Amino acid sequence: METLKGALIFGQSGGPSSVINSSAAGVFIEALKHKDVITNVYGAAHGIKGILDEQFYDIGAEDIKELELLKNTPSSALGSVRYKLKGADVDETDYKRLLEVFKKYNIRYFLYNGGNDSMDTCNKVSKYMQQSGYECRVMGVPKTIDNDLFGTDHCPGYGSAAKYVATSIMELKLDSTVYNTGMVCVVEVMGRNAGWLTAAAQLASYKGLGADLIYLPETPFDIDEFLQSVKDVCAKNDNKCMVVVSEGIKTKDGTYVGEFTASKTDLFGHAQLGGVGAMLANLVKEKLGVKTRAIEFSLLQRCAAHLASKVDVEEAFACGAKAVEAAVSGVTDKMVCLVRKPGKDYVCTPELMDVALAANTEKKIPESWILPAGKGLTQDYVDYALPLIQGDCKAPLEDGLPRFAHLKKVLVK
């Protein structure tokens, strides 16, 4: 295999996570080791948009200490973007522009960090460069708190978000049951189509401080059954009940329960503003006459780097580094995936799979892991998820607060 000499550009795409910057650190720190092959290391501002706009940072100008701190800095340090490339057959404009920029800066390595859509971007860009006869190695680095990426045992970002959800549910369970009066607490967790993150509430149940009811988008949601279940739990439990619900729960006919809230009238014609959690809390209050509280984890669940999983931080870093190693060694059109060895002990290594396979496919929770009527998940899920939330790993404290990375962000001229 011939050595391909040129610049490397890396971009971050889609919703950030607690460890997306750990993958960036893995890419950057590894890339800077290959100075004989990788002439320049660039970070694209706001993903693919930064390449189109020629807005990218010279990572070689950064202090290595700050790049190390990226491991524990939440959110996308380079800025993120939601931008779906059209097919080149529909509109070639963006592709022509990308080729132009790649040529101008002799970019020969394109690494992109994200979920399904980002893998689709990798795939499309690589195909176009090949057709144009421009040699360029393209690698996908997986990321999503949703854990819905096909072909990898799990996604970097999921373990930390799951640890946040499980820990917070345990803490909320203690807090929300503190008075000698009834209280139904409805917690809303992210996840439009796959319930992986909501499922993490089961880990709290496993520790004896969990939700009483868990609702995932994978199972049709029935309002009457829900109200009956809450009623049953309340009857057994001093009118106390904790419900954890995915933002993406749908009724039998496929309508998002939260869509009623978006249209500002709920299932019962009431004016609404909050999310599906607020709507269900309000419904319980009205129908069962018990005090309720709705809590939405919102952005907190994807940026709480102070509660990151050590396993997750390290795997995210390893995925970034692996992508660079593979590309330098001649590989292209792959996504790094995590492969778990069968057996009782958790051993998981970054491997490679075709990026085209990961593009645009969603991985949902196996049906057999989901118990009916909001009763949570089986031990299979706990066995799957528990290794992913192990260990703490967070930014050093300065004045009692996290010392996150400060990048210089020197724009390439």
Name the residues that contact its own copies, by CB under 8 A.
Answer: 16, 45-46, 49, 73-76, 79-82, 163, 166-168, 170-172, 174-180, 185, 203-204, 206-207, 209, 264, 271-274, 278, 282, 293, 295-296, 298-300, 302-307, 309, 386, 389-392, 397-402, 404
Closer residue to its own copies (CB): 3 or 180: 180
Closer residue to its own copies (CB): 99 or 186: 186
| Minimal distance, residue 368 CB to its own copies, in Å | 23
> What is the C-alpha to C-alpha distance for residues 301 and 15, in angstroms, rounded to an integer?
12
| Minimal distance, residue 38 CB to its own copies, in Å | 26
> What is the C-alpha to C-alpha distance for residues 326 and 184, in angstroms, rounded to an integer?
51
The question of whether 146 is a catalytic residue gets the answer yes
| Minimal distance, residue 245 CB to its own copies, in Å | 15
Closer residue to its own copies (CB): 235 or 300: 300
> What is the C-alpha to C-alpha distance for residues 322 and 345, in angstroms, rounded to an integer?
23
| Minimal distance, residue 171 CB to its own copies, in Å | 4
Q: Are strands 38-44 and 56-58 parallel, antiparallel or unpaired?
A: antiparallel
| Minimal distance, residue 326 CB to its own copies, in Å | 27
Closer residue to its own copies (CB): 71 or 322: 71
Region for residue 333 given its phi and psi (left: phi exceeds 0; alpha: psi -120 to 50; beta: otherwise):
left
Closer residue to its own copies (CB): 269 or 343: 269
Interior/surface letters 253-286, b for 16+ CB within 10 angstroms, e for the rest: eeebbbebbeeeebbeeeebeebbbbbbbbbbbe
Dihedral angle sign, alpha carbons of residues 339, 335, 216, 252: negative
| Minimal distance, residue 124 CB to its own copies, in Å | 21
Give 372's contacts (C-beta < 8 A, 6+ positions apart). Answer: 219
Neighbours of 99 (CB within 10 A): 18
> What is the C-alpha to C-alpha distance for residues 251 and 243, in angstroms, rounded to an integer?
17
> What is the C-alpha to C-alpha distance for residues 353 and 335, in angstroms, rounded to an integer?
5
Closer residue to its own copies (CB): 90 or 271: 271
Q: Which residue has the tokens 């409805």?
A: 186
Of the residues 120, 146, 212, 266, which is catalytic? 146
Query: Looking at the annotation, which residues are catalytic?
Result: 146
